[in-house]
Structure 1
Amino acid sequence: IYNPQGLQLHSDPQGGLLDFTSSVDGNYSVRLNDFIYKGGADYVYRLTVSTRPRIDMVYPPVGKAGTNAKFTLYGRNLPGGQASDWKTKDGKVLEKKEVQIQLPAGDARAKLKLTDHLDPRRAALDHLEYRLKSPQGTSVATYVGYGSESLVYETSGDNDAPEKAQTLNVPCEFVGKFFPASDKDRLRFTAKKGDIYQMEVFSERLGRPSHAFLLLEQLTKKDDGEETAKEIGKSMETASTLGGQVFDVSTRDPSLRFEAPADGDYRILVYDLFNSSSDPLNVYRLSIRKESPDFRLAAYSMLPPPVSTNSSPVFVKSPTIRKGETFPVKVMALRRDGFKDAIDLEVAGLPPFISYFPKRVPEGADSVTMLFRPSAKAMDWDGLFSITGKSKVGGKDVRRDCRFADVGWSSYDTQAKSAFSHIHVVPSAPFAILGRENTPVKVLVDDAKLAESAKKAFEAAEKASQEADKKAIDVQAKLKTPVDAETKAEQELAAKKKELADKEKARADLADNRLKTGKEKLVLAETA
């Protein structure tokens, strides 16, 4: 930003936010450029200049489901806002404003009502979109999460050192800060053998540029009272291959499942690997909760492969097909806490001449590709359709609405040759049929050749299995031969020993008989 005299007032090399208050009346100007001064027709940007409210953070970032809780908004141009003690990392003082927000309870937590662009990693979470209205306009959206446990806040004391770890009663929702720079938080709790908890950090998914690290230790005491720590778990991320580049739900937020190996005390260490500069807005949430198996559904329309790996694929596909064509939609089962049951899929909003399959996510499967196909009697049609998943959770029948990824725009990394999508999460997706047209090209599968190929593959597999079984029998026979020989030798040795023992007994008996006979003859001679 330049003042009326052409002098630079503010700048941001990272494409973020400029918070500017004019000191005098006049004409101000803004200059924008690519960081390395590149450009072109596909270098699109959007610049917003506004006096409407801006929410930098809602604190705490989580509330207990079903409560009408008090939250504090921190930001700029907040109607009725007051100066706060919180500042941005560049020293700007933030305003604060307290608000009451009603959080949903029960199955309503799984329903998202979102209107703004949302990172896919956050789209997989249950949370509420919140906006603040003012005469100057409505703020961009901020998000409030909800959990099932009570909130615990980081104390003002120093909990960096192991001996100063803050004590928690679990389960709970812990709210802390990675502040100041290089801050490390240590927490301890007591558990009984067999207790199972899910531990999950929320930081990157709160919009923070962080990479949290989570370490769990078991504490024991020696006879002299000295406390020792043993590492029993750690995590640096929650990886997932679901969703690809369109609906990527993997995150740098760590998580782990903890089962107490014994009664006693345990200690948690959590810190931000990227925390090299002080940022008071670097808030995080650590959820320590009992396991609660459940699921969510997410979906996106699949794309054909790119024509060339050197050209950026565009993550926008028309949901319009003709008779004879098929529209594929990938449905992801976001399973939680070990939920493995099958999920039945229902589609609403389609006319009867459109069929779809499969209609179930199998037990343990993470996703299926649903194929939507118009019949030969299809007519022109367009509209919205939605997907619902049904299953049993905790012995109870539940329904979960599917969350669709509606692509707003995409960006392309020329070095990695990879496209990244920016999506809106919507409850239903558009679809259209051109019933008056037939597809100009059909790809058909020859069932006879397919069956023949399958038969040959089966026969080859069966032959390979038989050969493997024969080799296994031969190997067992070879391994058994020395054992049989050793057994036979032991039997022969035992027989020889018995034979010698019998001969020795016979000789002893013969000697005894001869001695007895001699004595008898001697007695007879003396008598005569």
Structure 2
Amino acid sequence: MLRHLTPCLLLPLLALPPAAAQSVCLPAPRLLTTMPMGGQVGTQVDVVISGDSIADASELLFSHPGITATAKVDEQGKPVANQYVVSIADDCPAGIQDARVMTPMGLSSPRAFTVGTLQEVVQSAASPAVDSAFPLELNSICNATMPARAINHYRFEAAQGQRILVDCAASGIDSKLNAVLIVADAQGRDLVVQRLGDLIDFTVPEDGEYLVKVHDMTFKGGAEYFYRLAVQQVSHDAPAARQPATRSVQAFSWPPTDLATTAATVDTEPNNAPEKAQAVTLPLDVAGSFYPAADIDSFEFDAQQGEVWWVEVASARLGFPTDPAVLIQRVEAAKGSTTDGTAAAETLVDVVELSDISSPVKVSSNGYAYDGPPYNAGSPDVLGKFEVPQDGRYRLQLTDLFGGTRSDPRNAYRLIVRKAEPDFAVVAWALHMQLRNGDRNALSKPIALRPGATMALEVVVVRRDGFDGEIELFMEDLPAGVSACGLKIAACKSRGMMLLTAAEDAPSGFSNTRFFARAEINGTPVTHDCHLASMAWPLKDSWREIPSPRLVASVPVSISAAEQAPLSIASLEQRVWEATAGQAVTIPLAHHRRREFSGSAISMKTIGAGFDNNPKFDLPLQEDHSEVVLDLAKLKTPPGEYRIAFYGSAVAKVENKDIVDIVVSEPITIRVQPAETK
């Protein structure tokens, strides 16, 4: 049976001199701010945007079709630069959507845009003192920006006994603000202080005017320190719900396929003490919370020798600041009595401890340099196997490892104990690079292609319940002139690659694509969406600021005909190559240079199932042609059809600057035939 191997050539980057190390990819459009950062369902709102490389932006686009935008025009009917009128349909769902701007360089990186149900206002000037407090009505949201070294003040009227939720959305909507939130009396004397970015649940002590103060933890500020302040009256029995927030990268692996919306069982307190353990039967699906502080939820069940169960806990992936851990023990009944005549205590025998879903691939040790990607697909949650060693009664204890320092009933969890249901979840991000001389970049990289360019998306998988099969990657609904080549995730491996190539004559355009991963599980084809992650902010110096990656809502692919790729690499003669097992195959390559480059050669590596051990080779940067030799005997490549890629790095001269850019070749297919036998 044939296996796929398509050499799709990837070229990561050469080291730059320290002085030029700050420029690590070609200019790309990035949407940085929108003001306001959201709007109410069924309304229109004027939006002002800012960003990098967004000159001559033509459209403001959203991930949901219920949000549309038209350019704002002046009195003469001419479009006003970077201003739009955004319409939110009556049936648009509340929550986070992504806004992007279309530019001559393609579609930008995303910025969170929140659709809500409360009325909204925009604060256009700072309110740094009590006497300049900005007036707010109950049940409204204020969109604002935090000035540096300042405190913004707000005032609202409330009646005795009213329950008021005051919530400041910041990091959850891509802001750099680390919000401190304070409710004060009319004279500005603090009543309640929240320094951890959480909401304030406030019961009004008497009729009158109250103040809300907002500032950054270290009093930073500027256009990137925006926020949405909500002041809402709720009933006394209503949950203290936060404003919507973007999803972290780790959330991609939840939920399992076909999981019920509501758990079949709920955690019943008190169940901390051994004698109070909650009796359950397997399989188990229970919802609970890590509350109060130092909560231990215990569940007891009977199990038979040889049974294999899979245990999964979701809490951090639900967006909570928790770190679940599971301990399963066998409960041995007490025998006899003690010397004083009291009953002997039961004996507990540890069977398995489970904590943390490890990242499928080694992640960056410092959040930006490529000793691993600056994205972490792992999680503090739990996913592991429990093999029953003998018949008997077992006790499962679920804790939050740092739960002694927090006491919040909203810190929910979902605990599942199931028979094996092999499955997988995948996430992708733009390939990052390693620069030897001071790489400090953590950049958002929109899929904005230049004609002749190939962009690489790194794809990693979290495997569930023992699934170890290979996974194919593919895309649909690509724009005209763009093709996709998936380098599969091999059996028992965690990493693959998706390569997107724009033809040299591809026209400008974009489409919202569909990105899938497909595998065969127990003889049945299984297809899942591949999630996409991106940096919330393009950081040029991550030694000074921690990167903040997140999942994005859609996978748009755009192409700009404004300029072509600086360098393209393709097979010189053909796209499919025949080879014989145990021999070497030589592939001639053509280099299409469109800019001046630094250095004489690119050190190339090989990727693709079974070909990662191919030795590095030099690709002459100043030549039009080169060759790569694959020794199938040394690689022990069996017969089949394969997709592979070569990657290195190149330093192009762009506007008198050295710009390091990843270059990826067009795909090549190699068919390896069996060797002749005598």
TM-score in terms of structure 2 length: 0.50
Of 482, 486, 509, 1:381 maps to 509
CA gap 1:45/1:127 in 2 versus in 1, 3 angstroms: farther
Shift of 1:304: 4.1
Number of equivalences: 382
Where 1:122 maps in the other structure, the secondary structure is helix
CA gap 1:327/1:187 in 2 versus in 1, 3 angstroms: same
Mapping for residues 351-362 of structure 1, pairs under 5 Å: 351=479, 353-362=481-490
CA contact (8 A) 1:412 1:419 kept: no
Shift of 1:328: 0.9
Mapping for residues 65-464 of structure 1, pairs under 5 Å: 77-78=233-234, 82-84=235-237, 94-95=238-239, 117-126=246-255, 146-147=259-260, 151-156=264-269, 158-221=270-333, 224=336, 227-242=346-361, 244=363, 247-276=375-404, 277-305=406-434, 309=438, 311=440, 313-351=441-479, 353-409=481-537, 419-434=546-561, 437-439=564-566, 440-441=594-595, 445=619, 450-451=628-629
Aligned twin of 1:498: none
CA contact (8 A) 2:479 2:510 kept: no
CA gap 1:125/1:146 in 2 versus in 1, 3 angstroms: same
Shift of 1:307: 8.6
CA gap 1:34/1:410 in 2 versus in 1, 3 angstroms: farther
More strand by share: 2
Are residue 7 (structure 1) and residue 189 (structure 2) matched? yes
- The gaps in structure 1 that reach 5 residues or longer are 53-76, 85-93, 98-114, 129-144, 460-528
CA contact (8 A) 1:150 1:172 kept: no
* Cα separation, 2, equivalents of 1:332 and 1:257: 21
Where 1:365 maps in the other structure, the secondary structure is coil
Q: Could you report, residue by residue, the CA deviation over 1:95-141 in whole angstroms, capped at 9, with x for unpaired residues?
A: 589xxxxxxxxxxxxxxxxx95111222321289xxxxxxxxxxxxx
Greater RCO, 1 or 2 (C-alpha within 8 Å, sep 6+): 2
Where 1:358 maps in the other structure, the secondary structure is strand
Q: Could you report, residue by residue, the CA deviation over 1:329-354 in whole angstroms, capped at 9, with x for unpaired residues?
A: 11223321111222222221225643
Which letter does structure 2 place at the counterpart of 1:18? I
Are residue 34 (structure 1) and residue 217 (structure 2) matched? yes
Which letter does structure 2 place at the counterpart of 1:228? T
Shift of 1:368: 1.0
CA contact (8 A) 2:473 2:488 kept: yes
CA gap 1:21/1:165 in 2 versus in 1, 3 angstroms: closer
* Cα separation, 2, equivalents of 1:307 and 1:380: 35
More helix by share: 1
* Cα separation, 2, equivalents of 1:412 and 1:349: 33
Aligned twin of 2:230: 50
- The gaps in structure 2 that reach 5 residues or longer are 1-182, 338-343, 368-373, 567-593, 603-618, 636-678
* Cα separation, 2, equivalents of 1:150 and 1:325: 47
* Cα separation, 1, equivalents of 2:384 and 2:418: 11
Shift of 1:194: 1.6
Where 1:163 maps in the other structure, the secondary structure is helix
Q: Could you report, residue by residue, the CA deviation over 1:376-402 in whole angstroms, capped at 9, with x for unpaired residues?
A: 443333333222222222322222122
Q: Which has the larger radius of gyration?
A: 1
* Cα separation, 1, equivalents of 2:210 and 2:297: 48
Aligned twin of 2:200: 18
Shift of 1:283: 2.9
CA gap 1:149/1:449 in 2 versus in 1, 3 angstroms: same
Where 1:257 maps in the other structure, the secondary structure is strand
Q: Could you report, residue by residue, the CA deviation over 1:4-33 in whole angstroms, capped at 9, with x for unpaired residues?
A: 433333322223323457755558462414
TM-score in terms of structure 1 length: 0.62
Cα RMSD over matched residues?
Answer: 3.8
CA contact (8 A) 1:243 1:249 kept: no
Which letter does structure 2 place at the counterpart of 1:120? V
* Cα separation, 2, equivalents of 1:24 and 1:149: 40
Where 1:368 maps in the other structure, the secondary structure is strand
Shift of 1:149: 9.5
Shift of 1:251: 1.8
Shift of 1:403: 1.5
- Give percent identity, aligned residues only: 24
